[in-house]
Amino acid sequence: MFRFSRYLVNSLKYYWRTNLGVLAGAAIATAVLVGALISGDSVKFSLLELSMKRLGTTEYALESDHHLFRATLAEEIAELSDSDISSLLHVSGTLQQSSTNRLSHIQVYGIDEQFQKFLKAEDFPDLRESNHVAVSQRVAELMGLDIGDDMILKVEKNLVIPLETPVATKDDRTVSIYIEIGAILSDEQLGRFSLLSNQFVPNNLFIKQEYLAGKIEAQNLANILICKSWSETSLEKLNSALTQTVKLQDLALELRKVPDTQQYEVISSNVFINESVRSSLVESSMQTQEVLSYFVNEITSGSKSVPYSFVTGISSGNELNLNDQEIVLNDWAAGELGAVPGDSVHLKYYIQNPGNKLIEKSRSFLLKAVVPISGFAADRSLMPNFPGLGDAETCGEWNPGIPIDLDKIQTRDEDYWETYRGTPKAFVSLLAAQDMWANKFGRTTGLRMSGNGLTHKELNEKLLELLAPQKLGLKFEPVLQTAIAATQGGLDFGQLFIGLSFFIIVAANLLTGLLFVFNAEQRRSETGQLLALGYLPKQIRKLRLWEGLTLAVAGGLIGVFLGVQYSRFIIFGLGTFWRDAVGFSDFQIHLQPLRLVIGLVVGVAVSFISIFLVVRKQTARGAGKSRLSSLPKLKKWDRFRKYHLVMLVVFIMAASGILLKHQPDQAQAVAKYYSAASLMLITGIYACYVGMREILYLNRLKRFNTVNLVLRNWSRRAGRNLTTISLLAVGVFIVISVGLNHQDPTLNSAKASSGTGGFELFVETTMPILDELTTLPAFAEKYPNVEIVQFRKKVGDDGSCLNLNMVQQPQILGVVTDGLENRFTFSKTISGFGDGSGWDLLNFDWGPGVVPAIADMSVIQWGLGLGLGDTLYYVDDRGVDLKLVVVGGIANSVFQGNMIIAEHNFSRYFPSTDGTQVLLVDTPNLEVDRIALERELTDYGPEIQRCGERLIAFSAVENTYLSIFLMLGGFGLLIGTVGLGVVLLRNILEDRQEIAVLQAMGFKPGSVFKLILSEQILTLIIGLLIGAIAAIISILPVLSHSDPSEMMRLLILVVAGMLVNGIFWSAMAIRFAFKEEIAETLNGE
């Protein structure tokens, strides 16, 4: 029985050659879609795998940036929350094997017994000896280490008190530990353990916590808790357990009884009490009395002075009742000074500026009274436990963070210290004290309260109720959930590769459509017969569409298989030759059946739509006419040809005018070249149109030869040839101008307006630098012409384009903006705030809890998906929400990955972050100073990078994507040129009678072949030439600063590849067409 399906199958079989082409087009389109989707999934999956590797089985983590807590908190919380919790003591350090083999930015983790539980499968190696450490494979590889190697590990110590605490000693900040490599950790052994959401491999070193804690004077303390729940332990349960178990000590606080009084006092191990704690207690019902004691350089009255004394400011509620201009001396000091009430008393003291520079200030008071050293005036506990002072037995043992002139210390002073220690010699009002000595760490050194009959324990509990750890920033975070969200929310490689493969998809669908319409045209007589048999046009269209759908589905299925291979290629590329775009190579293919189905459905749909459109167009147009019966109308041309010629000249002049216009601004210069190139492209295509019309119009037989014949034929098919030329030209222009438009960030890098800001070196140190280097006399003397801008660093996500994860809280840099004035170029700034240089915007006061921030424009746009005026949310050191409002974006700079805020805001909200860890160095003597600087900063573990190199690393990402676009776009164009062969086949099909006539006239088949091919080559060359010339114009700025030969090689490769491919497929098409018998054609049989 004859069925419709039989007709379908027979038709598909009979026209197998062209159907194969349609199939190939559908397969390629689907393959590209499927490949891109799989690649996207694979990148996400790989990032997720990496996250699992860096977290192990960690689900939640608690990190304390600014103080240490008891390591035993881990056990206590674990008991209450049905989970495994490990405490970690995390510090930064440098590792040194020899004077040349050194590695900075070592993440040192002191681990406890529980840490083993956070490995998924393997065991953590047994570190037999205390000084045995386990390093990650990366560290071992970078330093060429092996098990048994001895090393020196230099780490920060004295983590309890911030280094920048006024008066506290700055010495003895690091400790060197002799270690032996006990194990080299694989990724499965948590070698790349990190709580940061990025794919970068950290330089990890694991050491026994107890041993490390002993070395850095942090016994039984930790600063990280990691948690793995046994069951469904919720975040709330964990934080609730934390609240139940936390002690004041874990919040860097201590409640003590004030001797000889009924008062209790809250003091901080950080010396100054956190502002959140202070405000919580002061604003409570506990009737708190604030105390601020400070170490002054000198108390003078008249010609006499007393050196190095503690002075205390105390809030009202005591018998002193001082106003802000009054001072009270104890009788010892008054005696030494010979001062009596009514005398003028002066205090000299140091304060620290942001660069840790000491500035001596003074303030005068009126002596209100002299009190005996008894009662509250004899309270030694008013002296805070400043490191370098609190433990000193004698004045000679003093080692504070300020210079001490021992010559000024006399026997009387030694005696006082021996008898009274740091008992204040003078008292001022609290407001006066805070006016002089309040700093970023706090405005009180003690908070006193009566207790209202509560016992120490009861008061302790009450305080803990008031001071919930969460409010102070001490809380568990769902790091696993965050990591998953970050991997899923980052750059979508699926979409990216669909975009990069756009030309392939378009070309493949074009091919599908062209081949299908060619097939249909081949069967024109069949269509006529079907019509004669009584089929309706819509029925015939339906028949064709069924064939098309069958081919699209079959092609799609093949495409799914090819797509998997394509994704393998992409993943391989990203891990190898495109590695610059992603920064790591540990990609794994991840196949999700649903994605394959989606890719198949979309691929088939897209191919079918192409087929549908051409079938609809063809059936609407009816049977095509032979070229022998058609010729363009030239009457209109006769009337308007002069105008066209004038227009052409105007176009050329306009393009030349744009090119010749001087444009100093780089961004505008790029736009200028693109405008000129685009205009040139249009001019070229327009010139073709004019040329074709003119050839036909000037139909006089001046020299009748083969060339003339080719030109005539070419001109006659103006529409189709012009379309082909336009497609080729536009394709070549886009692919080459975009693909070769590689950024050279080093261009003008010496200029202050460039992305380097005119700085030569970008330095990141492992340990914070407390001093403002250029103000240190020794440094200034050695490097008189070196300019350094120092940045504070709050560790966060890497917001640069190198991080594939979703960036949530980028790293923050704090800077005194003076050093950046007139440096860098702002792409955009928010209006209405501040004026002058964009950096001034950072100093505008947005009110409490809101800080203006500037970042690299690429970070704002692509990394964060934000715009100017948008807000980023952080939590400051007090545990309070902090909003960073984006007020400016800098053009491609070394700051990629960071948010920059003013130093005063940084210190205000992140006081516990010590010193500066990022430096920009401007030096006229780069090589010499680089080496010297590296030596100078050795103790800080510097990593020195040329600013230009840093920019190159960032631009390598973009340039690699451009290269991928060039490659895939070029491939798309090659497929497109296959389509040219199909177009030619259609042309020949239409011209077959003409070809037969030529042969009947005696033209050799070879001559006719050459004639047709010449016409096609002419189209190819003109299209490619127009596209290439426009592309060259567009990349002129790039050519001027890059290796032009390399660029031209690539350009020639693309153009030549397309030309050769185009000629090949055209030749194939002609050969295919020539199989038809001349006689049959002429007879229409």
Contacts of 160 by beta carbon, 8 Å cutoff, 6+ apart? 67, 68, 217, 218, 221, 252, 269, 270
The whole-angstrom separation of Cα 1070 and Cα 1082 is: 18
Tell me whether residue 636 or residue 1004 sits nearer to another protein (CB atom): 1004
Tell me whether residue 545 or residue 1082 sits nearer to another protein (CB atom): 1082
793 close to 811: Cβ distance less than 8 angstroms: yes
Contacts of 616 by beta carbon, 8 Å cutoff, 6+ apart? 541
Tell me whether residue 713 or residue 790 sits nearer to another protein (CB atom): 713
Tell me whether residue 629 or residue 785 sits nearer to another protein (CB atom): 629
Shortest distance in whole angstroms from residue 718 CB to another protein: 11
> Rounded to the nearest 10 degrees, how much is the dihedral formed by the CA atoms of 240, 242, 245, 248?
-120
The whole-angstrom separation of Cα 981 and Cα 987 is: 10
DSSP result, 387-413 = TTTTT-SSGGG---SS---GGG--HHH
Antiparallel, parallel or unpaired: β 60-63 and 224-229: antiparallel
Tell me whether residue 406 or residue 1079 sits nearer to another protein (CB atom): 1079
Shortest distance in whole angstroms from residue 17 CB to another protein: 20
- Identity of the residue numbered 320: L
DSSP result, 427-467 = EEEHHHHHHHH-BTTBS-SEEEE--TT--HHHHHHHHHHHS
The whole-angstrom separation of Cα 879 and Cα 246 is: 16
The whole-angstrom separation of Cα 246 and Cα 73 is: 7
Tell me whether residue 3 or residue 633 sits nearer to another protein (CB atom): 633
Shortest distance in whole angstroms from residue 536 CB to another protein: 30
Helix/strand/coil percent split, the chain, to 5 = 50, 20, 30
413 close to 305: Cβ distance less than 8 angstroms: no
Shortest distance in whole angstroms from residue 1009 CB to another protein: 12
Tell me whether residue 66 or residue 992 sits nearer to another protein (CB atom): 992
**DSSP code at position 271:** B
Tell me whether residue 713 or residue 817 sits nearer to another protein (CB atom): 713
Shortest distance in whole angstroms from residue 1028 CB to another protein: 29
Tell me whether residue 523 or residue 716 sits nearer to another protein (CB atom): 716
Number of H helices, E strands in the chain: 30, 30
Shortest distance in whole angstroms from residue 1004 CB to another protein: 4
Shortest distance in whole angstroms from residue 997 CB to another protein: 4
Backbone angles phi, psi at 157, to 5 degrees: -135, -175
Burial of 319 (0-12, 13-18, 19+ CB in 10 A): exposed
Shortest distance in whole angstroms from residue 713 CB to another protein: 7
Q: Quick count: other Cβ atoms within 10 Å of Cβ 652?
A: 16
The whole-angstrom separation of Cα 153 and Cα 150 is: 10
- Contact residues toward another protein (CB under 8 A) are 627-631, 696, 699-701, 704-706, 709, 712-713, 715-716, 993-994, 997-1005, 1007, 1077-1079, 1082-1083
863 close to 801: Cβ distance less than 8 angstroms: yes
Shortest distance in whole angstroms from residue 1069 CB to another protein: 20
21 close to 190: Cβ distance less than 8 angstroms: no
Nearest to 717 by CA among 988, 372, 945: 988
The whole-angstrom separation of Cα 386 and Cα 397 is: 13
Contacts of 397 by beta carbon, 8 Å cutoff, 6+ apart? 391
Contacts of 661 by beta carbon, 8 Å cutoff, 6+ apart? 672
Shortest distance in whole angstroms from residue 630 CB to another protein: 6
- Identity of the residue numbered 593: P
Name the token pair of 530. Answer: 């079907």
Tell me whether residue 170 or residue 717 sits nearer to another protein (CB atom): 717
Backbone angles phi, psi at 37, to 5 degrees: -65, -45
Tell me whether residue 597 or residue 1000 sits nearer to another protein (CB atom): 1000
The whole-angstrom separation of Cα 989 and Cα 1009 is: 14
Tell me whether residue 516 or residue 714 sits nearer to another protein (CB atom): 714
Shortest distance in whole angstroms from residue 665 CB to another protein: 51
Shortest distance in whole angstroms from residue 3 CB to another protein: 21
Shortest distance in whole angstroms from residue 1013 CB to another protein: 16
Shortest distance in whole angstroms from residue 685 CB to another protein: 22
